């Protein structure tokens, strides 16, 4: 598992892999105690030779990204060197392996489509990224397709929307929902980029991981799946839901200038995943928020 020390990787290990042996290759070790089936090896993704990590491996989960969804292109050359080139090296090593493992890539359904043209957006709609993070994700998707055509690489892509859980705190990147909960609990102002009318498809991490498990079990011809709830919620609506669950009457909201890299509307069509696997999201947003509150 490349990048398995973070929020999504640790959630996948806990929910999907049980007692099966898992190798985490990451620049930092996972926080907290680990099961005996977990092996950690340090990895400098940008300069790594991956062949030694692939011995006896039947599934690779690619979670690594050194880029955050920020504006601008000032560091684009370095980002390409740290993300795209190492991924191509990885694919070269994979297809040279005698029994090439299957590869699952966690892409970004929340950003790769850009502003889109219609909503909810399907896997077959145009992807027009407006931030470098999304551009790298989409480029990797295209390389996976290329290696499938030329080398028979077996891969799946999960375009994940906006996963959340209180467990994201351990990864240091809690996201909007846990952050807003903590800000309201402490009586601080909730900080919002822009006017708060931007819409997101928020999915509880447990639903997201179950969807990923369904994708891994699927054996049909589809390779790319949206993973979300199919429901768009504005940031202002989200704040109101959190305030209601916390019993906060009038939360203080501080609006700051919107960023050019922020998608204004995102809502995923998940009908392909439903049809192919039978998976359904089961945790409504209000229940997911309640879980985050109770778990902290």
109 pLDDT higher than 60:
yes
Q: Which residues contact 166 (CB under 8 A, 6 or more apart)?
A: 178, 291, 292, 295, 296
Mean pLDDT along residues 216-223 = 97
pLDDT above 70 covers a percentage of the chain that reads 98
* Distance (Å, whole) CA 27 – CA 176: 25
Q: How far is CA 2 from CA 35, 64, 198, 216, 221, in A?
A: 18, 6, 31, 16, 25
The architecture CATH gives domain 7-162+203-227? 3-Layer(aba) Sandwich (3.40)
171 pLDDT higher than 60:
no
Topology of domain 172-200+231-267+284-295 in CATH is: UDP-galactose 4-epimerase; domain 1 (3.90.25)
Q: Read off the pLDDT of residues 38-47 as tens digits, 9 standing for 90 and up.
A: 999 999 999 8
Band the pLDDT of 36: cuts 50, 70, 90. confident
Mean pLDDT along residues 108-126 = 91
Mean pLDDT along residues 189-214 = 96
Band the pLDDT of 172: cuts 50, 70, 90. low
Would you say 256 and 241 are in contact if contact means Cβ atoms under 8 Å apart? no
* Distance (Å, whole) CA 202 – CA 208: 10
DSSP 137: H
Q: Read off the pLDDT of residues 89-106 as tens digits, 9 standing for 90 and up.
A: 999 999 999 889 999 999
pLDDT value at residue 150? 97
pLDDT value at residue 250? 92
Where does the chain have alpha helices with state H? 7-12, 76-79, 85-96, 132-151, 176-185, 205-217, 235-246, 271-277, 285-295
Would you say 112 and 134 are in contact if contact means Cβ atoms under 8 Å apart? yes
Taking Cα atoms as reference points, which of 149, 122, 123, 127 lies closest to residue 138? 127
pLDDT above 90 covers a percentage of the chain that reads 82
Instruction: Return the domain boundaries, the chain.
Output: 7-162+203-227, 172-200+231-267+284-295
Summary mean pLDDT of the chain: 93
228 torsion bin: left (phi>0), alpha (psi -120 to 50), beta (else): beta
33 pLDDT higher than 90:
no
DSSP H/E element including 255: strand 253-256
pLDDT value at residue 34? 75
pLDDT value at residue 117? 73
pLDDT value at residue 122? 96
Q: Read off the pLDDT of residues 47-64 as tens digits, 9 standing for 90 and up.
A: 878 998 999 999 999 999
168 pLDDT higher than 90:
no
* Distance (Å, whole) CA 234 – CA 236: 5
Query: 18-22, 64-68, 157-161, 166-170: which has the highest mean pLDDT?
Result: 157-161
Q: Read off the pLDDT of residues 258-296 as tens digits, 9 standing for 90 and up.
A: 988 999 999 999 999 999 999 999 999 999 999 999 987
- Report the 10 Å Cβ neighbour count for 192: 20
* Distance (Å, whole) CA 291 – CA 296: 9
Q: Longest Cα pair distance anywhere in the chain, in angstroms?
A: 62
Indicate the angle between helix axes 85-96 and 132-151, nearest 10 degrees.
20
């Amino acid at each position: 598992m490349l990048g398995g020390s973070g929020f999504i990787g640790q959630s996948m290990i806990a929910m999907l892999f049980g007692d099966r042996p898992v190798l985490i290759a990451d620049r930092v070790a996972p926080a907290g105690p680990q099961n005996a089936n977990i092996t950690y090896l340090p990895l400098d993704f940008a300069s790594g030779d991956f062949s030694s990590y692939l011995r006896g491996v039947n599934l690779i989960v690619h979670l690594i990204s050194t880029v955050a969804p920020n504006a601008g292109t000032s560091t684009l050359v370095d980002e390409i060197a740290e993300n795209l080139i190492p991924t191509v090296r990885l694919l070269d090593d994979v297809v040279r392996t005698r029994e090439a493992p299957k590869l699952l890539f966690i892409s970004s359904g929340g950003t790769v489509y850009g502003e889109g043209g219609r909503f909810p957006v399907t896997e077959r709609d145009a992807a027009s990224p407006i931030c470098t993070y999304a551009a790298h994700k989409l480029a990797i998707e295209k390389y996976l397709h290329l290696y499938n055509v030329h080398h028979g690489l077996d891969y799946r892509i999960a375009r994940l929307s906006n996963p959340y859980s209180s467990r994201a705190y351990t990864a240091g990147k809690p996201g909007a929902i846990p952050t807003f909960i903590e800000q309201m609990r402490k009586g601080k102002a909730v900080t919002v980029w822009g006017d708060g009318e931007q819409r997101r498809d928020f999915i509880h991490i447990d639903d997201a991981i179950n969807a990923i498990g369904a994708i891994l079990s699927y054996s049909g011809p589809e390779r790319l799946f949206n993973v979300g709830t199919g429901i768009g919620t504005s940031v202002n609506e989200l704040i109101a839901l959190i305030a209601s669950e916390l019993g906060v009457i009038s939360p203080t909201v501080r609006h700051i200038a919107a960023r050019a890299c922020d998608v204004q509307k995102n809502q995923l069509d998940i009908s392909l995943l439903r049809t192919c696997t039978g998976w359904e999201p089961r945790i409504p947003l209000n229940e997911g928020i309640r879980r985050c509150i109770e778990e902290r």
